[in-house]
């Protein structure tokens, strides 16, 4: 049995244990309840839990965007993924917002889709932890943990498979890319996910900026500064931690005012960013793909397990996804 098979077996065992302890579950009535009571009432989603999209589809969206021919009148491809770490699917209540990035995209004709993390849709037991590193790594590489190897936090990915940040620059499809975060587990810590990929970019002299900010305000300021540049990076990935922080400290729940506040703060940051993008002097000539998504949900003050609350996330985009 190789290491991956062992780890997979360990996850499955742990997941089953969690199900038996907490009763999270592989129970279709849970699905119906979550959908009916929480998600359906939001009236924002194009699909249902049964037809939820795999989060790796975000990778395809960005790849296809850069591969597609430029529309008439456009001279430049640009894309941004705005990440809300720890955003549950049922938090996407745009009607509660004064301003919001998702609200703006939807008002402008964008769409919202239910998606899942964990490698396989609920109610099947997840194959990778519903944790930060596996989730974002699946979004950035278009692969699940059986291929990218990051089944949990605190693991370093081999250089391959490359993330979009590096592959777009290496292939010449993007002149430059940028990764703005505040969680040190992405590429700062010794056991960070993209430590080797960052090193690879530095050795090759690739135009990929990896920047870790002190906090969400710092990430916001760095992203705002980036999109204000006339020659801003062609692909930008930025992750806000408001929701994850609120969830871990006071509970991942839409009944928790602090979690909802974290959502409103994330949405305001995204709104300001999208407004700044749309105010660019060259915006009319640019073909932008804008995506807002999350890496995992949460339950109680944790995530990582197989529950529907941890598994269901959202993808909001200004471009339609064929279902």
**Under the rule (CB under 5 A), what is the footprint of Zn ion?**
85-86, 132, 244, 295
Q: How far is the CB of 294 from Zn ion (least distance, A)?
A: 8
Residue 260 tokens read as: 């909802």
Q: How far is the CB of 48 from Zn ion (least distance, A)?
A: 24
Q: How far is the CB of 74 from Zn ion (least distance, A)?
A: 34
**Phi/psi at 278 (5° precision):** -75, -10
CB atoms within 10 A of CB 85: 25
Residue nearest to Zn ion (CB): 132
Nearer of residues 54 and 297 to Zn ion, judged by Cβ: 297
Spell out the SS3 assignment of 58-122.
HHHHHHHHHHCCCCCCCCEEEEEEEEECCCCHHHCCHHHCCCCHHHHHHHCCCEEEEEECCCCCC
Nearer of residues 86 and 110 to Zn ion, judged by Cβ: 86
CA 22 from centre of chain = 26
CB atoms within 10 A of CB 163: 25
Nearer of residues 197 and 295 to Zn ion, judged by Cβ: 295
Nearer of residues 86 and 161 to Zn ion, judged by Cβ: 86
Q: How far is the CB of 180 from Zn ion (least distance, A)?
A: 15
Distance CA 234, CA 165 (A): 10
Query: Are the beta carbons of 79 and 235 closer than 8 angstroms?
Result: yes
Query: Are the beta carbons of 240 and 266 closer than 8 angstroms?
Result: yes
Nearer of residues 86 and 101 to Zn ion, judged by Cβ: 86
CA 59 from centre of chain = 10
Nearer of residues 130 and 176 to Zn ion, judged by Cβ: 130
Q: How far is the CB of 86 from Zn ion (least distance, A)?
A: 5
Q: How far is the CB of 243 from Zn ion (least distance, A)?
A: 9
């Amino acid at each position: 049995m190789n290491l991956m098979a062992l780890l997979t077996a360990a996850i499955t065992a742990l997941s089953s244990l969690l199900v038996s302890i907490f009763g999270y579950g592989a129970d279709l009535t849970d699905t119906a309840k979550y959908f009916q009571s929480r998600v359906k009432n939001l009236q924002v989603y194009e699909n249902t839990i049964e037809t939820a999209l795999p989060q790796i589809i975000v990778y395809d969206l960005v790849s296809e965007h850069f591969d597609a021919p430029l529309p008439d009148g456009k001279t430049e491809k640009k894309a941004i993924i705005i990440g809300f770490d720890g955003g549950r699917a049922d938090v996407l209540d745009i009607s509660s917002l004064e301003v919001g990035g998702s609200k703006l995209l939807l008002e402008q004709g964008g769409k919202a889709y239910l998606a899942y993390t964990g490698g396989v849709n609920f109610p099947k037991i997840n194959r990778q932890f519903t944790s930060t590193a596996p989730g974002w790594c699946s979004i950035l590489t278009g692969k699940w943990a059986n291929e990218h190897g990051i089944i949990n936090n605190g693991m370093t990915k081999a250089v391959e498979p490359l993330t979009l940040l590096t592959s777009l620059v290496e292939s010449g499809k993007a002149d430059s890319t940028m990764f703005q975060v505040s969680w040190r587990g992405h590429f700062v810590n010794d056991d960070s996910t993209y430590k080797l990929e960052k090193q690879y970019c530095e050795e090759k002299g690739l135009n990929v900026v990896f920047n870790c900010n002190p906090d969400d305000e710092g990430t916001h300021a760095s992203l705002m500064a980036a999109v204000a540049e006339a020659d801003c990076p062609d692909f930008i990935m930025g992750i806000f931690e408001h929701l994850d922080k609120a969830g871990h400290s006071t509970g991942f729940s839409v009944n928790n005012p602090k979690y909802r506040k974290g959502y409103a703060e994330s949405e305001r940051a995204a709104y300001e960013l999208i407004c700044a993008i749309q105010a660019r002097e060259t915006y009319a000539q640019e073909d932008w793909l804008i995506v807002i998504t999350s890496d995992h949900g949460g339950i109680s003050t944790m995530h990582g397990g197989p529950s529907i609350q941890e598994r269901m996330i959202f993808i909001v985009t200004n471009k339609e996804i064929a279902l």
